[in-house]
């Protein structure tokens, strides 16, 4: 081997000449330099690279999150948020080539129209939402509608009033069935259970929700052979004893707590039991069973109630477990979460189909094009045209339950 004394010369192999050594050295230096430059550029690129994050998509929400109706509010909110949680865990909502992380923006409407309108305006003008979900109170929902419809903001509500839906309200939808659909089957059930019953006392708050529900049940009662007698009360009434006393003196066979929020229902049942009432007590509308168990204890035994879901169904039980794990206030699980979850999923599916998060007309039309949806408790579809003039209401199952030995028990399923 020849050892070259010049330090600039590098030997390769076992034998090279001085010229060959120079050429090979130069080639190697160029190669090393190229590798260095590429590596440096890669390091700089990696240092400056931030993985693209999904854009946040806000969905507005209003409902009573305090007061007597707060369990309805959180039942509704939980269905929306649990649906969002499932979409987000799956990688976000994919719309128009983008991925969105869903987020609910909730406001407490306090079951009143003025706070609801204030919330809707903040959601639209400050939070820039295109969709408002929820709102249990009929007065509140109708008030919000005066803001959402002219601005083409979708109101996807669950208030009971028949005035909520119609062909003249194209941006308003409802995600669950109301007493208009299930009151007939329920009163038929009461008549079968108490064939001699002739008069039913109907307790309701003197507002849009209560008045609309009372007028419908009175109509259905006449068809069923039961006279429905109204006993209205003002929201905010602290002591409901006088209204109960008035009903007890009216030759009543069945007491119906319909139209009243959970807190007031519990109070009325306790008053009735304390006054010795042993005949039928029913709740023809609005999920309240766990509130009754909490507020009434043994006084709730024998109460027959409407329910929005079967808590023992596997998918529903799994959702309730997730509800309890969330940091909501101390409210009982409410079955409104089940149709709320289904409604939210249909909303998100409609947005994906429409390919937009901004064009509410396209989102609405895409939602309404969904002929059938596999919900938590069976098939869900759009309906309501015969009653409201537009197929803007989701139709799912309803249930009749009875509290037996301190436990709720589903005794009948109503299919539509």
CA distance 167 to 55: 34
Q: What are the φ and ψ backbone dihedral angles of 110, each rounded to 5 degrees?
A: 60, 20
Of 234, 243, 261, 213, the closest CA to residue 67 belongs to 261
CA distance 227 to 230: 10
| Start-end of H helices in 194-261 | 208-224, 241-248
Scanning the structure block, which residue is given the tokens 């249990």? 136
* Number of neighbours of residue 301 by Cβ within 10 angstroms: 17
In CATH, what number does 180-307+401-414 get?
3.40.50.2300
Q: What are the φ and ψ backbone dihedral angles of 60, each rounded to 5 degrees?
A: -75, 155
327 alpha-carbon distance from chain centroid: 17
Rounded to two decimals, the pTM is 0.82
Residue 120 in contact with residue 141, Cβ under 8 Å?
no
CA distance 305 to 320: 19
47 alpha-carbon distance from chain centroid: 42
Q: One digit per residue, pLDDT tens: the chain, 416 residues?
A: 333 334 333 333 333 344 444 444 445 455 544 544 445 444 444 444 334 467 999 999 999 999 878 989 999 999 999 999 999 999 999 999 999 999 999 999 999 999 999 999 999 999 999 999 999 999 999 999 999 999 999 999 999 999 999 999 999 999 999 999 999 999 999 999 999 999 999 999 888 888 889 999 999 999 999 999 999 999 889 999 999 999 999 999 999 998 788 889 999 999 999 999 999 999 998 888 998 999 999 999 999 999 999 999 999 999 999 999 988 887 888 999 999 999 999 999 999 999 999 999 999 999 999 999 999 999 999 999 999 999 999 999 999 999 999 999 999 999 88
Buried-state track 126-157, b at ≥16 Cβ within 10 A, e below 16: eeebbbbbbbbbbbbbbbbbebbbeeebbbbb
CA distance 26 to 10: 10
- The answer to whether the Cα torsion of 125, 130, 133, 139 is positive or negative is positive
Pairing between strand 154-157 and 131-134? parallel
Structure tokens at 132: 């408002």
Show the 3-state SS of 61-123: EEECCCCCCHHHHHHHHHHHHHHHHHHHHCCCEEECCEEEEEEEEEEECCCCHHHHHHHHHHH
Q: Bridge-partner residues for 105, per DSSP?
A: 60
Query: Domain coordinates of the chain in residue numbers?
Result: 1-45, 55-176+313-383, 180-307+401-414
| CATH fold of 55-176+313-383 | Rossmann fold (3.40.50)
Helix/strand/coil percentages in the chain, nearest 5: 45, 20, 35
Q: Report angle CA 243, 247, 252 to the nearest 5 degrees.
A: 160
């Amino acid at each position: 081997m020849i050892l070259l004394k010049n330090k600039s010369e590098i030997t390769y192999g076992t034998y090279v000449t001085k010229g060959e050594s120079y050429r090979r050295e130069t080639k190697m230096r160029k190669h090393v330099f190229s590798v260095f430059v590429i590596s440096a550029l890669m390091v700089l690129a990696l240092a400056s690279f931030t993985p693209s994050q999904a854009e946040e998509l806000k969905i507005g929400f209003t409902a009573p999150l305090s007061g007597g109706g707060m369990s309805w509010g959180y039942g509704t909110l939980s269905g929306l948020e649990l649906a969002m949680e499932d979409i987000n865990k799956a990688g976000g909502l994919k719309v128009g080539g983008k991925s969105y992380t869903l987020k609910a923006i909730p406001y407490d409407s306090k079951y009143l129209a003025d706070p609801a309108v204030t919330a809707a305006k903040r959601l639209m003008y400050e939070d820039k939402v295109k969709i408002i979900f929820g709102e249990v109170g009929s007065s509140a929902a109708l008030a919000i509608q005066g803001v959402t419809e002219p601005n083409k903001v979708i109101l996807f509500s669950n208030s009971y009033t028949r005035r909520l839906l119609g062909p003249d309200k194209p941006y308003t939808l409802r995600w669950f069935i109301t007493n208009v659909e299930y009151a007939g089957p329920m009163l038929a059930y009461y008549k079968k259970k108490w064939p001699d019953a002739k008069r039913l006392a109907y307790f309701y708050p003197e507002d849009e929700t209560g008045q609309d529900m009372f007028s419908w049940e009175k109509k259905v009662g006449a068809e069923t052979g039961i006279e429905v007698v109204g006993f209205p009360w003002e929201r905010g009434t602290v002591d409901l004893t006088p209204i109960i006393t008035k009903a007890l003196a009216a030759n009543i066979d069945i007491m119906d707590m319909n139209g009243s929020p959970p807190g007031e229902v519990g109070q009325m049942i306790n008053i009735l039991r304390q006054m010795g009432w042993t005949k039928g007590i029913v709740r023809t509308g609005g999920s309240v069973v766990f509130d009754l168990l909490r507020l009434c204890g043994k006084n709730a035994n024998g109460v027959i109630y409407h329910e929005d879901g079967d808590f023992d169904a596997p998918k529903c039980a799994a959702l309730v477990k997730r509800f309890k794990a969330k940091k909501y206030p101390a409210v009982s699980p409410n079955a409104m979460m089940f149709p709320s979850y289904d409604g939210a999923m249909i909303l998100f599916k409609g947005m994906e189909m429409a390919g937009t998060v901004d064009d509410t007309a396209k989102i609405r039309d895409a939602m309404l094009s969904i002929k059938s949806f596999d919900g938590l408790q069976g098939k869900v579809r759009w309906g309501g045209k015969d009653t409201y003039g537009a197929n803007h209401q989701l139709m799912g199952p309803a249930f009749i339950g009875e509290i037996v030995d301190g436990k709720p028990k589903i005794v009948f399923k109503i299919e539509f």
